[in-house]
Amino acid sequence: MTGAAAVVGVADEIVKARNDDREYRRIVLEKNSLEVLLISDPDTDKCAASMNVGVGYFCDPPGLEGLAHFLEHMLFFASEKYPLEDSFLKYITEHGGGTNAFTSSRDTNYHFDVNADSFEEALDRFAQFFIKPLLSEDAVEREIKAVDSENQKNLLSDTWRLNQLCKHLSKDSHPFHKFGTGNRDSLEVRPKSNGVNVRDELIKFYKEHYSANLMNLVVYGKKPLDKLQALVEDKFQDIRNIEQSCFIFSDQPLSLEHLQMLIRVVPICDDHAIKVEWPITPGIRHYKEIPTEYLGHLIGHEGEGSLFYILKKLGWATSLWTDEYSSNMDFAFFQVFIDLTDAGQEHMEDIVRLLFKYIDLIRHSGICKWIFDEMAAISKMAFHYQDKTPPLGYSVGIASNMTIFPTRDWLVTSSLPSEFNPSLIRTMLEELSPTNCRIFWASKNFDGQTDLVEPWYGTAYSIERLTESSIKKWMEGVPDENLHLPVPNRFIASDVSLKKVQEKVKFPVLLRKSPYSLLWYKPDTMFSVPKASVTIRFRCPNACYSLEAGVLTDIFTWLLSDYLNECAYYADLADLGYNISSTSSGFQISVGGYNHKLRILLETVLEHIAKFEVKPDRFSVIKERMIKNYQNFKFEEPCSQALHYCSSILTERSWPLTEELEILMQLEPKEVSNFTPTMLSRAFLECLVAGNIESQEAESIIQNVEDIFFTGPNPICKPLFPSQYPTNRVIKLDEGMSYFHSTEGLNPDNKSSALVHYIQIHQDDYTSNVKLQLLSLIAKQEAFHQLRSVEQLGYITTLEQRNDQGIRGLQFTIQSTLKDPKQVDSRVEEFLRLFESKLYEMKNDEFESKVNELIAVKLEKFKNLWEECDFYWAEISGGTFKFDRIKYEVSALRQLTQPELIKFFDEHIKVGSPKKKTLSVRVYGSSHTSEFTAERTETVGPGSIRIDDILSFKRSRPLYGCFTGGFNYMQSCRIRTSTTAAESDE
């Protein structure tokens, strides 16, 4: 017991994973009853905190929709103790961290992470959110624009639209019915017209609802528990406790009038889908028995005999998933979501019949203990051998769990099911009846055929009532298909022993080199988990030499994944996953998870490649799905379109989407059949094997790959000639020139415009890299504050580094309804002028502090095997092989001086610099059509070049050199390996 807090829990009260060496302690502050979980992790580089406040948009007052969400935005601005606006974000960003928040129906969660040395002050600044925030009038007026901009971003998202329609079709009196995001209309226009002062209401909401007894805090630190406890007692004891009651609403959001209905919905994207939704008993009440998970596991299964397997076989569906959502102690929904093909759209009733037939199959087959045991075994293994994740996400998840689960299960949640209760599962199964659901059917085909509109998003829909007799009749005539329950999962690992590492190598070593492949090997020396990763990149010159070849490679990888799904789905359930994707030089496969059965899955993937054949029925379905993906690009956010155009301009091997679509629409199965052996006829393999695998087994794996594709009795591939190594180079912009590409947004219904302002700087180099990184660290928050908080250009406002094939640059991305892209471009340049002054005036001790913060970020240890593999694979696939990059960049940082940084800025980033190279991509939304027309007629000034034809522009430009390709590339592997091996032995 301490002076300010009662220690209610000790470490062994909280169940934790076997491989978790962190220490935990639950405390409740004596002064205000704030419940806290302390986590001590001496090995962490980042510290984090997450405050979960038990109030969400369900508590919004009538006529002030989105007030809880608006308050979430406002708490970040300033407090009485730290009155400088955005000073919290500035502190966090400049000390290697990040921060965010979210508002849900019942909770609002605030969170941040930061470098360990800066945690104490960050925690003090964070605590002031909940003690004395300023909520100034000026900030309130400006931040309403940010909330409205955030809502504008969501207006044309089918996910947001369908979610709100589900809420709209519920009891008006139930808080589930509410619009939680808020917009200018709900937070400014209507309140003003009714004489309501929004700031007064904001302060009132804060005072009435933000009470310490409704808060749960997680603090994840490097210090011992006692010191963390003292820190929390000092920083958080002044949060008020007004003994506010928890929000409880025992009534159900749906009455009978909201069930037994078919709702036809007009989506934004050209897709077809159905969602069947049931109100159910919340699964969270029975998290040890997992009844919802059991049913979701079976209904959402994708193996042979499953509902999805049959729908896929019939050519009616492209995906199926199940979920329990809005889960709380009071109410929940179970949903089955099915993406339909064009043919499936014509068989909607048959699909629903098959769904209920499968539910009946589960009922009549009985509740199987072996299925429950299998799920429990997988969950138990996943919990005890979980990967360590970054402190921020870990803290957020636990803070949310603290409001739901008893203390001992804050970390476990439903990960250790232990009570097989067939009667409970049967009871929940009875809730999934045809008369207890509603069906949402979304399709563009319903455009012009609906008579209702959801008020907040403008979603068009219509309702057809379904009587019990019509439902019964509807369920007749179920298609005669061989549905059956899944079989036992052969991919569940049973050997979780750790291999003995003969040599403590620090970096990947080149274990094997042949005319066909390079094998890089990195055993696990850090994480001690029975997991491994194998990544193989097939560099195939025939896969990327033309527009047609690129499209054919794409559809090859889609078909391959499609064919693997039935067997690989079992592996995925057992936490053994795979990925197949096309690349600019061919395609890539990766397999990762528990190493015990990893090789079985890898060999299954390789067998499907070696014996690949095109199945015409699946080709038609995949082709249709890919065509819709291309066509739906026009519904992407303008900032996504701008980023795409920027990549198209900068990358040598990129093709116009319109041309790719035209090729795809004319494609026939025979063309893919003819192309695949041609693509594979010449190849070179780059491989990384990492984790809990011994070197002999790593060599054996790649030897087997070579036997299949190169040296066996029926070889598929031949090695590459040095001249055949495929490359994808980057366009070099001229010094002192500003390029711009302007276009209209593809969706006329989207009012927002977007700008990508890119500054091309240098090719990969340790010293130049750290200069750019340091400038980005210093400027990132300044840009957010000026362009987002002060000028309110738009909710999406980012400044980040960009890396294209080793070509580094700085990139602003801004989406705005307030100003057109050309105006936003001028605001970016004005910001750079303001930043120039701040950079020149920076004190030396502040400069040193920034350098040290960046060093701390760079020296962060990998959290898990996958982070480590991603880092090393980026070096391998990029041809740089700088596995010791961190060491040399930290060394360059320590030698960097402030004058050198300013010189770098003056040469490459400063407005008007003769060496500066800028590319602006401007996408004009429908609210700026006249501005787009005006810009097209303007005369281009000196030093600027308008890019009208992207392909013609690229053909006229020189290219940067490439790190990969041919003889020099192979030589660099050998040279780098000798260096790496020597350092690994140190």
Active-site residues: which are they?
72, 143
Residue from 432, 454, 434, 430 nearest 442 by CA: 454
Q: Give the chain's largest Cα–Cα span.
A: 84
- Here the tokens at position 365 are 């087959």
Please report, for residues 126, 758, 770, 901, the alpha-carbon distance to residue 781 in angstroms, rounded to integers and kept in the order given: 17, 18, 18, 18
Instruction: Answer whether 429's CB lies under 8 Å from 331's CB.
Output: no
Residue 482, phi then psi, degrees to nearest 5: -85, 75
Residue 25 pairs in a beta bridge with 38
Ramachandran assignment for 558, one of left (phi > 0), alpha (psi -120 to 50 degrees), beta (any other)? alpha
How is the beta sheet containing 452-453 ordered, strand by strand?
A: 317-325, 332-340, 272-280, 438-443, 261-265, 460-465, 452-453
Residue from 182, 55, 177 nearest 107 by CA: 55
C-alpha–C-alpha distance, residues 655 and 548, integer Å: 10
- Here the tokens at position 327 are 């889960």
Q: SS3 of 111, please?
A: strand
Q: SS3 of 465, please?
A: strand
Instruction: Answer whether 399's CB lies under 8 Å from 217's CB.
Output: yes
Q: Which secondary-structure segment (H or E) carries 756?
A: strand 753-763
Residue ranges of E strands in 765-845: 797-804, 807-816
Triad 686, 549, 614: Cα angle to 5°: 90
Instruction: Answer whether 415's CB lies under 8 Å from 14's CB.
Output: no
The residue type of 726 is P
DSSP codes joined into one string, 536-554: EEEE-GGGSSSHHHHHHHH
Neighbours of 721 (CB within 10 A): 10
Helices (H), 314-390: 342-345, 348-365, 369-384
Residue 53 pairs in a beta bridge with 108, 215
The residue type of 286 is H
Handedness of CA 906, 908, 913, 919 (dihedral sign): negative
